[in-house]
Amino acid sequence: MWEQVIQLKYTLAIDIGASSGRHIVGWMEEGRIQTKEVYRFPNGVKEEAGHLVWDIEALLQEVKTGIRAAKAEFPKIKSLSIDTWGVDYVLLKGSEEVLPVYAYRDKRTEAVIPQVHEILPFSELYSHTGCQFQPFNSIYQLYADKLAGRLEGVTDLLMIPEYLMYRLCGVKAREYTNATTMMELAEYFGVNYRKDFLNQ
């Protein structure tokens, strides 16, 4: 009797949280989803000039190290993707990062929240999204960046997982479900953020 040879398709999920990250390989076998953690690493904010920031380059290196570990054990991985916490982002001027990459736990947004609500009352923001108020929501971070002059010359904004994928493959893409963590700005029309809110 001939045995049927089944070619398993392996995928790699890179799940990064605010305190740790892990690489998990998944596949279907005999009708059941199988997973195996192949790499884990610590993550956390660091203090820089009185602010809490992410070491985005170190994070990228951990992502790459985990990919190598996954490939060593599962050489035929077909695809991978990255998922992280929401609301934080990387600003780009072309291919150059605007540093630092602030962490959502930083207090820089506290002073600008009333100013944002003078322009866009929270009731109006909530009516568009249903997102609860949090002082670290991206709209407040972006307004703080605007007041600090960090948006001058900026050509792109990528959420953390989108930025890491861009560094891996060179493609700047925006994924809908992750972008919704941007609260009011992420109500998409096609692939565009809320330009009416951004312009204010």
Query: Can you give the pLDDT at residue 177?
Result: 74
CA-based nearest residue to 64, from 161, 167, 160: 167
Query: Can you give the pLDDT at residue 17?
Result: 96
The helix or strand, by DSSP H or E, that contains position 97, with its residue range, turns out to be strand 96-98
Query: What's the CA gap between 63 and 78, in Å, rounded?
Result: 17
Q: Which two tokens stand for residue 116?
A: 């944002």
CA distances from 79 to 6, 25, 26 (A): 18, 10, 10
Mean pLDDT computed over 89-95: 95
CA-based nearest residue to 113, from 86, 90, 137: 137
Query: Tell me: the pLDDT tens digits for 107-163?
Result: 999 999 999 999 889 998 888 777 789 999 988 999 999 999 999 999 999 999 999
Query: Tell me: the pLDDT tens digits for 45-88?
Result: 999 999 999 999 999 999 999 999 999 999 999 999 999 998 99
Residues 6+ apart with CB under 8 A from 195: none
pLDDT band for position 175 (cuts 50, 70, 90) = confident
The helix or strand, by DSSP H or E, that contains position 49, with its residue range, turns out to be none
